[in-house]
Amino acid sequence: ATENKAVITLFGATGDLAKRKLYTALFKLYQKGYLQDHFALLGTSRHPYTDEEFQQVVRDSIKDVEETRKGEAADFSKHFFYKSHDVTKPEHYTILKKRIEELDKQFGTEGNRLFYMSMAPQFFGTIAMNLKKQDLLSDEGFNRLVIEKPFGRDFDSAKKLNDELSKTFDENQIFRIDHYLGKEMVQNIQALRFGNTIIESLWNNRYIDNIQVTLSEKLGVEERAGYYDNSGALRDMVQNHIMQIVAQLAMEQPVSFTDTDVRVEKIKALRSLRVYTPSEAAANFVRGQYDAGNGTEAYRDADGVAPDSGTETFVAAKLMFDNYRWSGVPFYVRTGKKLADKFTRIDVVFKKPLIDIFADPRHESDQTLNSNVLTIFVEPKSGFAMQLNAKRAGQGFTTQPVDLKYLQSDTDKKESPEPYERLFHDALEGNHTNFASWAEIAYAWKFVDVIRKLWDIEKPQFPNYVPGSMGPAASDELLARDGRQWVYRL
């Protein structure tokens, strides 16, 4: 592993995300040698901690990660420092600046600076502005910004945020986190498509009937209710994660597998996504909210949720790409809370043979062939399966669907870095492949804004699905209308 050198300044160092994910991710990079002696993390938030107290917070956060040598966690935590800081007070940035410069010297980080914003998004713009005004960027190494979601709540607010960030950072210095892009099997979409002639040569409207993407959660809103009620599934899952997955499924082959080339193709794909008129949106989007049932309370009864809340906890949609490759092929997507199970999968449904010779009455068979389906299991299991038709063993001639299957072994899974580890690593190396560019985010918001506006005007009939189901009946009807059905169904 090549060592990365940097001072990381983390805004929101005592937050939930930092403690649950970020310190663990950094510790794993340290264990693997991507971080060694030449790095330091300066944590900031409003809490008044000493360096020692903060190092204890870090050690507590990584206590479940096995050490590869004795004393490793303790050594790692000695790279962590702390300054309490109110992001709205310009004078506090001068203190941070001085501390960053000291740490740079002490750890020999060659002027490389990575700023990580893991706080409530309303502060992102203020922090960026102050980083520039109070002169926290270095003139020698790199200056990079890693920024958490959500990136705006509609196109206008996202644009405003991006304009604010752009005053301090160039697009090639900004790394917008979408942790779905850090998932092994989402990255595998590219390997599967562009590494296999038998897949990519069929990857178009001539052979594919439809594509289905499901991000299903078993949990409800739990303690995030306050935030969620303000956001809803469309903003929380569709605008970012689903759009990013769909872009990778729809994009053309990049010239090379570099961040610049991949981005160009993803942007092109999103540009050809059909932006609906309000009436098309009404016809092609379904929203849902879970009721009480199966031993759980209704969404509206959760703490922090208004008793008449119109926030959707489920979305299903039919997306269309208007380009040569995809014309006529629907991409059905859905996501929701309190569904039957927790999983993410992609089902690519191929067209049936134009003529089914086995259905010929002379073969005494009234069965029809199944569609070939390529399923990409993103999580919790990782792998893929290809459903083919084969002859059923025995006398006579009937066919049956059989599966060619590859699932990652437990060892593979153990060796796969968690999304945050992978993304932290990529940001340290300056690789943008698995981050969302501004243009992608802008197109995704423009697409989603039409639906949001419609839904904000029209009162929904909520609640409309039971916990433990796969969402409202309208989600099945969306496909049934086209003579299709969800591959994964109960």
- The footprint of ligand NAD (CB under 6 A) covers 12-18, 45-47, 85-88, 118-119, 121, 148-149
Q: For residues 428 and 4, is the Cβ–Cβ distance under 8 A? A: yes
Residue (14 or 284) nearer to ligand NAD, CB: 14
- In the bound state, the residue with its beta carbon closest to ligand NAD is 15
**How many CB atoms are located within 10 Å of the residue 463 CB?**
20
Three-state secondary structure call for residue 209: strand
Joined tokens for residue 27:
């510790």
What's the Rg (C-alpha) of the chain?
Answer: 25
Residue (238 or 374) nearer to ligand NAD, CB: 238
Q: In the complex, what is the shortest distance from the CB of residue 14 to ligand NAD, in angstroms, rounded to a whole number?
A: 4
Q: In the complex, what is the shortest distance from the CB of residue 88 to ligand NAD, in angstroms, rounded to a whole number?
A: 6
At which residue do the structure tokens 């502060």 appear?
123
Distance CA 153, CA 129 (A): 20
Give the active site residue among 241, 363, 425, 432: 241
The sheet with strand 39-45 has its strands ordered as 80-84, 39-45, 6-11, 113-117, 143-147, 174-176
Q: In the complex, what is the shortest distance from the CB of residue 22 to ligand NAD, in angstroms, rounded to a whole number?
A: 9
What length does the chain have? 490
Residue (14 or 24) nearer to ligand NAD, CB: 14
Residue (87 or 250) nearer to ligand NAD, CB: 87
Cβ-proximal residues to 421 (8 Å cutoff; 6+ apart), any chain: 24, 25, 28, 29, 182
Q: In the complex, what is the shortest distance from the CB of residue 209 to ligand NAD, in angstroms, rounded to a whole number?
A: 34
DSSP string, 161-198: HHHHHHTT--GGGEEE--GGGGSHHHHHHHHHHHT-HH
Residue (186 or 286) nearer to ligand NAD, CB: 186
Q: In the complex, what is the shortest distance from the CB of residue 288 to ligand NAD, in angstroms, rounded to a whole number?
A: 23
Nearest to 182 by CA among 318, 21, 317: 21
DSSP string, 386-427: EEEEEEPSSSS--EEEEEEEEE--HHHHHHSPPHHHHHHHHH
DSSP string, 269-334: HHHTBPPPPHHHHHHHEEEE-B-SBTTB--GGGSTTS-TT----SEEEEEEEB-STTTTT-EEEEE
Q: In the complex, what is the shortest distance from the CB of residue 28 to ligand NAD, in angstroms, rounded to a whole number?
A: 18
N-term to C-term CA, the chain: 45
Q: In the complex, what is the shortest distance from the CB of residue 44 to ligand NAD, in angstroms, rounded to a whole number?
A: 6
Q: In the complex, what is the shortest distance from the CB of residue 161 to ligand NAD, in angstroms, rounded to a whole number?
A: 12
| Exposed/middle/buried for residue 236 (C-beta within 10 Å: 0-12, 13-18, 19+) | buried
Residue (148 or 449) nearer to ligand NAD, CB: 148
Distance CA 221, CA 344 (A): 18
Q: For residues 292 and 219, is the Cβ–Cβ distance under 8 A? A: no
Does the active-site annotation cover 363?
no
Residue (86 or 403) nearer to ligand NAD, CB: 86
Residue (86 or 341) nearer to ligand NAD, CB: 86
User: What amino acid is encoded at 397 in this protein?
Assistant: F
Residues with catalytic function: 241
